[in-house]
Amino acid sequence: MRLTKFFLPTLKDDPVDAVTVSHKLMIRAGMVKQLTSGVYSTLPLGLIVFRKVENIIRQEMNAIGGNEFLLPALSPHDLWSETGRMEDYGDLMFRIKNRELVLCPTHEEVFTSIAKPSLISYKDFPQVWYQIQSKFRNEERPRAGVLRARQFTMKDAYSLDATWEGLDKSYNDMAQAYRNIFTRCGLDFVIVSAHSGAMGGSASEEFMVPSSAGEDNIVISEDGNYTSNIEVAVSFVEKNDRKNSDLPFEEFHTPNIKSIEELAGFLNITDKTRLAKSRVFVNPSKEEKGEDEYVLVLVRGDDEVNELKLQNLFGINIRPAHNEELAEITGADAGSIGPVNLKVLKNKKVKIIADLLLEDSDELVSGANKNDHHIKNIDIKRDVPGIEFKDLRIVKEGELTSDKKSKLKITKAIEVGHIFKLGTKYPEALGAKFLDADGKENPIIMGSYGIGVERTTASFIEQSNDDKGIIWKGEIAPFQINLICLSGKTDEVKDLAEKYYLELTEQKKIEVLYDDREEVRPGVKFNDSDLIGIPVQLIVGERNLKDGNVEIKIRQTGEKIIVSKDDAVSKAIELIG
């Protein structure tokens, strides 16, 4: 590709609104351009890279027997109402105003509707179906450029099986394909166990790229044997011991004490493990006129409630109670709520659950459900009848792994891929069944597997850059060689660069970006080249050519090599690696 014909609008300065490195560099290198918040146009350089990522994905999907589809972005309301996801997705789903259509955020429903009339006998399985297509999500806060956009390209794949063993095999094949894909894309990644979110289903893992630009927190043990999204991470922490003083609980006055920190200060203690923190959540009823369930959740004062663990117990719609609801349910404000003397106004049902670390606790202090009052000497099992204990806390850095063999480290990471065993949720909701060998009807068993194309690319850039720009490596580099012509007073330089260009592209089939611009200063050419980050720069200029030489620069190391003009092509090819 000749730069004089290529649309490459590079920028010298960082865009003002960009914070993450990949966002800045993708804009500056002319890969993408924002149209409106969370919506990006892909420019020619960006498209070359995205297509390379897509082709790696396509090859690995085909290698495990994948069938490529292309489904519409639009789909009818009915399909989503039948599975309940019209509500589950809520505001995240774009809805068309003048038709009963939505813009699909994912495609389980549509693929299931295709499977339903066609996969009807156990002999029709297994199947792996996929597509590489645009997804639409009305993200509340699009951020970091294409890392979280409102329209993006996803490879979504679905395995369809007749047996649970079949699902295990499909899932494992897909996991291996994902490892191949992200390795070929040059990413440094970890696989963590994950929460299955709005999808429903059981086993689920995410492919995570450690990066400060990430929105997820992942937990990795020091010995590397345990990896998990913090959303579902567990650890070993000693439970609170018992004092066995058998003191009756007692209310006391705590004027203006609203937080655990203030309470600890008031009581003049630093150890917050015996201060029970209470939060109230609302689990909306599934039926239209049904009663909502209220859940009072207790964790130790030094802990935080893990809302994803709550979702796993109660469903994805559980949410923190608003202040008015709190007052209505408990009679008190957020800082004075507790499990004892809970009057429960207006006949609301309140379930009380506590974190496992509190299971044997006595001498606890918690809110009295009366503003400015707390209760001490709570013996949780004695004083809170019917209380249940579950793992509800967020793990912390430095805690022991469950097997006590290692310690936890917490790192920010970007989720680039997600695989999970969905089970029968969508086939059941949509009536997609087949006849097994005994002539019995069963729902199809599904797995669902996603990769974000632009996010994968941006994640690579997060991990491979320097202060000059992007550093492409391996299969996803947009071009392999950047041929730079520093045109001189005579035609000699230009003639040689032209000769190299033809030889590299036509004979050697190398992907070359040829900077053949005439009126551009060398400094500008070098800066552009470093910014767009092609692995090898082949520089033809008057100064070296006087001695019969040209220069080769390796983008990653900055190393410069002077070679004779006759060896330049073979040396440049050798250095591509």
| Cβ distance to Mg ion smaller for residue 279 or 418 | 418
Size of the site for Mg ion (CB under 5 A): 1
Contact region with Mg ion (CB under 5 A), list: 10-18, 260-268, 412-420, 553-561: 412-420
Interface with ligand ATP includes 139 (CB under 6 A)? yes
Identify the residue among 418, 525, 553, 555 touching ligand ATP (CB under 6 A): 418
Instruction: Copy the structure tokens of residue 266.
Output: 């008031």
Q: How far is the CB of 47 from ligand ATP (least distance, A)?
A: 16
- Residue with the CB atom nearest ligand ATP in the bound state: 452
State the binding partner of 449 from Mg ion, ligand ATP, none, CB within 5 to 8 A by kind. none
Q: Are 414 and 420 in contact (CB under 8 A)?
A: no
Check if the beta carbon of residue 423 is closer than 8 Å to that of residue 204: no
Q: Which does 452 bind (CB under 5 to 8 A by kind): ligand ATP, Mg ion, none?
A: ligand ATP
Strands 373-378, 250-253: pairing is antiparallel
Give the bridge partners for 101, in sequence order: 76
* Residue 131 Cα to chain centre, angstroms: 19
Task: Note whether 418 binds Mg ion by CB under 5 A.
Answer: yes
# binding residues, ligand ATP (CB under 6 A): 17
Q: What is the DSSP string of 404-432?
A: SSSBEEEEEEEEEEEEEEEETHHHHHHT-
CB 365 within 8 Å of CB 275: yes
For Mg ion, the closer CB: 150 or 418: 418
> Is 268 exposed, middle or buried (CB count within 10 Å of its CB: 0-12, 13-18, 19+)?
exposed
- The one-letter code for the residue type at 285 is S
Give whichever of 76 and 201 is closer to Mg ion, judged by the CB atom. Answer: 201
Query: How is residue 104 written in tokens?
Result: 């699909």
Our finding on whether 415 is near ligand ATP (CB under 6 A) is: yes
Q: Does 145 bind ligand ATP (CB under 6 A)?
A: no
Taking the complex as a whole, the smallest distance from the CB of residue 265 to Mg ion amounts, in Å, to: 40
Q: Count CB atoms within 10 A of the CB of residue 325.
A: 17
From ligand ATP, Mg ion, none, interface partner of 139 (C-beta below 5 to 8 A by class): ligand ATP
Comparing CB distances to Mg ion, the nearer of 106 and 221 is 106
With binding defined as CB under 6 A, does residue 308 bind ligand ATP? no
Site for ligand ATP in 58-117 (CB under 6 A): 106
Find, among 470, 531, 453, 476, the residue nearest to 149 by Cα: 453
Minimum distance of ligand ATP from residue 148's CB (angstroms): 4
CB closer to ligand ATP out of 40 and 294: 40
DSSP letter for each residue of 18-39: --SHHHHHHHHTTSEEEEETTE
Q: Whole-number minimum distance, CB 418 to Mg ion, in Å?
A: 4
Please identify, using beta-carbon distances, which residue of 135 and 418 lies nearer to Mg ion: 418
| Residue 195 interaction partner, one of ligand ATP, Mg ion, none, beta carbon < 5-8 Å per kind | none
Q: What is the residue type of 339?
A: P
The secondary structure of residue 356, as a DSSP letter, is G
In angstroms, rounded to a whole number, what is the distance separating the alpha carbons of residues 303 and 357?
Answer: 10
The answer to whether residue 455 forms part of the interface with ligand ATP (CB under 6 A) is yes
Q: How far is the CB of 447 from Mg ion (least distance, A)?
A: 14
Is residue 421 involved in binding Mg ion (CB under 5 A)? Answer: no
Q: Which of 192, 416, 445, 512 binds ligand ATP (CB under 6 A)?
A: 416
Q: Pick from ligand ATP, Mg ion, none: which does 455 bind, CB < 5 to 8 A by kind?
A: ligand ATP
Q: Which is nearer to ligand ATP, 416 or 575 (CB)?
A: 416
- Out of 23, 28, 107, 148, name the contact with ligand ATP by CB under 6 A: 148
Token pair, residue 382, equals: 């004695």
Cα(500)–Cα(506) distance, integer angstroms: 10
Starting at the earlier edge strand, list the strands of the sheet with 373-378.
250-253, 373-378, 364-367
Neighbours of 352 (CB within 10 A): 21
Is residue 148 a contact residue for Mg ion (CB under 5 A)? Answer: no
Amino acid at 362: D
DSSP 346: G
Minimum Å gap between C-beta 136 and Mg ion is 16
Q: Which does 555 bind (CB under 5 to 8 A by kind): ligand ATP, Mg ion, none?
A: none
Query: Beta strands 39-42 and 32-36: pairing type?
Result: antiparallel
List residues bridging with 294 in a β-sheet. Answer: 282, 350
Residue 426 structure tokens: 């969508």
Interface region with ligand ATP, contact rule CB under 6 A, candidates 21-29, 397-405, 416-424, 492-500:
416-424
For residues 270 and 264, the answer to whether their CB atoms sit within 8 Å is yes
Instruction: Tell me how many degrees the CA angle 80-414-13 measures, rounded to the nearest 5.
Output: 110
Find the shortest distance in angstroms from Cβ 158 to ligand ATP.
13
**Segments in 419-559 forming alpha helices (H):** 425-430, 453-463, 492-502, 522-532, 542-545
- Closest contact distance (angstroms) between CB of 208 and Mg ion is 10
Determine the 3-state secondary structure of 146 from DSSP.
helix
Q: Decide if residue 197 touches ligand ATP (CB under 6 A).
A: yes
Which residues are 282's β-sheet partners? 294, 319
Q: Which residues, 6+ apart, have CB-to-CB distance to 503 below 8 Å? A: 569
Burial class from Cβ neighbours inside 10 Å (0-12, 13-18, 19+) for residue 491 reads exposed
Q: Which stretch binds ligand ATP (CB under 6 A): 58-66, 144-152, 236-244, 540-548?
A: 144-152
Residue 229, SS3 per DSSP: strand
Q: Does 426 interact with ligand ATP (rule: CB under 6 A)?
A: no
Smallest distance, Å, CB 36 to Mg ion? 25
Shortest distance, position 228 Cβ to Mg ion, whole Å = 14
Quick one: which of 24, 28, 52, 137 contacts ligand ATP (CB under 6 A)? 137
422 binds ligand ATP (CB under 6 A): no
**Of Mg ion, ligand ATP, none, which one does residue 149 interact with (CB within 5 to 8 Å by kind)?**
ligand ATP
Name the site residues for Mg ion (rule: CB under 5 A).
Answer: 418
Name the site residues for ligand ATP (rule: CB under 6 A).
Answer: 106, 137, 139, 148-149, 152, 154, 197, 415-418, 450-452, 454-455
